[in-house]
Amino acid sequence: MQPGSIKWDAGRIVPLAIFVLLALVPVWGYWMDQSFYVAFFARMIIYAIAALALNLALGYGGLISLGHALFFGLGAYSVALPSFYGIDSGWVHLLATIVACGIVGYITGAISLRTTGIGFIMITLAFAQMGYFLFVSLKQYGGDDGTSVSNTSHFFGLDLGDTYTVYIAAFLVLALATWWMARVRVAPFGMVLRGARQNARRVNAVGFPARKYLLMSYVLSAMLCGVAGLLLANLTAFASPSTLSWVVSGDLVVMVVLGGIGTVFGPMLGAIAFLGLEEVMKSITDHWMAIFGLAIVVIGLVGKAGLVGLLSSRGGAWRGKAPAVKKESAS
């Protein structure tokens, strides 16, 4: 990239401005005594992390997964189950999340990747539903009613059960994960993933085992999604089997598509737009779901490359070029 070739257009300014505003939310919330809105924006950030995780598999690798709610729920229960036995160490919770999501992600990913297309979608969905019914059957931990988290995660003496603490932790995770995704996108690993999404046979032909790279992306995606679940359990002080529902997986897919598949900032924009529109519509009418669905359809039609594509088309893309509809945006 030549010096000065990057243009500060809407494709970059808007996401970066949102990051700045999100960083100021705890200050505003504390000053105005509005902890409710701090919790609401924390939920947005947590779902943005989960959507970002899915984007690694879906956007970069082309793996259309309807099973990421499984890892989201595993992260939540990795807090709830140790908490049930009085364990409040955040490091134990985090280790349980990484190990559980890593192992389950590897097993389910290795099996699912033996198929493609609709077969992959259905198998990932089936695994998520298996996890859902497993936790529903655990009556000693609340079963279908879920279980409260009485011992939230503690890191360095800080309690993630505090709204402001978990907000800051979630914001830092989102910022680091977004930076990492930007690096991965232009790294050899990311290029192989994007190549495998286009044509796995050609990637294999040049000496890169596409399936191994896709499996690695799926496992990494599972672990990051689990971290989002860990943060959600601390925010709500509750874990429920509904977190593993296929509806949650569908919501994450919509967030990624709405923001821009395969882009860096797309998942964050999609999560904020999705949850923000949902909250606004709920306050306007009881029939918000019909209007909400129509609004998403309109956004999808206007910006075929998602919100990032819509912004980039107005002011130039990540590298200062206006992308065509069929081309990827790097924002």
- Where do the domains of the chain lie? 10-244
Q: Residue 111 — pLDDT band, cuts 50, 70, 90?
A: very high
- CA-closest candidate to residue 217, choices 117, 330, 73, 113: 113
Q: What is the pLDDT of residue 304?
A: 62
E strand or H helix at 155: strand 154-155
What average pLDDT does range 293-318 have in this prediction?
A: 69
State yes or no: pLDDT of 15 exceeds 90.
no
Tokens of 183: 């690096």
Backbone angles phi, psi at 77, to 5 degrees: -75, -20
pLDDT value at residue 133: 94
Q: And the tokens for 195? A: 């190549």
pTM: 0.90
Classify each residue of 77-87 as buried b or exposed e, where b means 16 or more C-beta atoms within 10 Å of its C-beta: bbbbbbbbeeb
Phi-psi region of 152 (alpha: psi -120 to 50; beta: other; left: phi over 0): beta
Q: Is residue 3 over pLDDT 60? A: no
* Tens-place pLDDT, residues 52-109: 999 999 989 889 999 999 999 999 999 999 999 999 999 999 999 999 999 999 999 9
Say what the pLDDT of residue 315 is.
54
Structure tokens at 256: 């990624």
Count of C-beta atoms within a 10 Å radius of residue 150: 12
147: which strand partners?
Answer: 239
Nearest to 53 by CA among 36, 70, 78: 70
pLDDT recorded at residue 9: 59
Average pLDDT value for the chain: 87
